[in-house]
Amino acid sequence: MSNFSNFTHFTLSAYMDLGLFRYLVFLLLLVLYVLTMSANLLLIMTIALNRTTLHGPMYIFLCSLFVNELYGSTALFPFLLLQILEDFHTIPAPFCFLQIFCIFSYGHIEFLTLAIMSYDRYLAICFPLQYRSNMSHSKVFTLIALTWLLLFLVIFILISLSAPLRLCGNLIDKVYCDNYSVVKLACFDTTVNNIYGLIQLFLITVLPSSLIVFTYIRIFQVCFRGSKRTRQKALSTCTPHLASLLNFSFGVSFEIIQSRFDMSFVPNVIRIFLSLYFLTAQPLFNPVLYGLKMSKIRSLCTKMLLEKNCS
**Which of the 8 DSSP states describes residue 186?**
B
Query: How buried is 10 (Cβ within 10 angstroms: 0-12 exposed, 13-18 middle, 19+ buried)?
Result: buried
Integer Cα distance of 294 and 39 in angstroms: 15
Q: What is the pLDDT along the chain (311 residues), one digit of tens a residue?
A: 344 456 788 999 888 777 778 889 899 999 999 999 999 998 898 888 877 777 788 889 999 999 999 999 999 999 999 998 887 788 999 999 999 999 999 999 999 999 999 999 999 888 888 888 889 889 999 999 999 999 999 999 999 999 988 888 889 988 899 998 899 998 888 889 999 988 988 988 899 999 999 999 998 888 877 677 777 777 777 888 899 999 999 988 888 888 777 777 778 888 888 888 989 999 999 988 887 777 677 777 777 666 655 55
Integer Cα distance of 241 and 132 in angstroms: 20
Pairing of strands 9-12, 171-172: parallel
Element (H, E) at 9: strand 9-12
Domain residue ranges in the chain: 9-310
User: Using an 8 Å Cβ cutoff, are 240 and 289 in contact?
Assistant: yes
User: Using an 8 Å Cβ cutoff, are 259 and 197 in contact?
Assistant: no
Integer Cα distance of 292 and 286 in angstroms: 10
- The amino acid at 12: L
The tens digit of pLDDT for each residue in 240-268 reads 889 999 999 998 888 888 877 777 777 88
Domain 9-310, CATH number (from 3.40.50.2300, 3.30.70.270, 3.40.1160.10, 1.20.1070.10): 1.20.1070.10
User: Using an 8 Å Cβ cutoff, are 172 and 11 in contact?
Assistant: yes
pTM for the full predicted model = 0.90
User: Using an 8 Å Cβ cutoff, are 290 and 39 in contact?
Assistant: no
- Write a three-state SS string for 24-70: HHHHHHHHHHHHHHHHHHHHHHHHHHCCCCCCCHHHHHHHHHHHHHH
User: Using an 8 Å Cβ cutoff, are 239 and 269 in contact?
Assistant: no
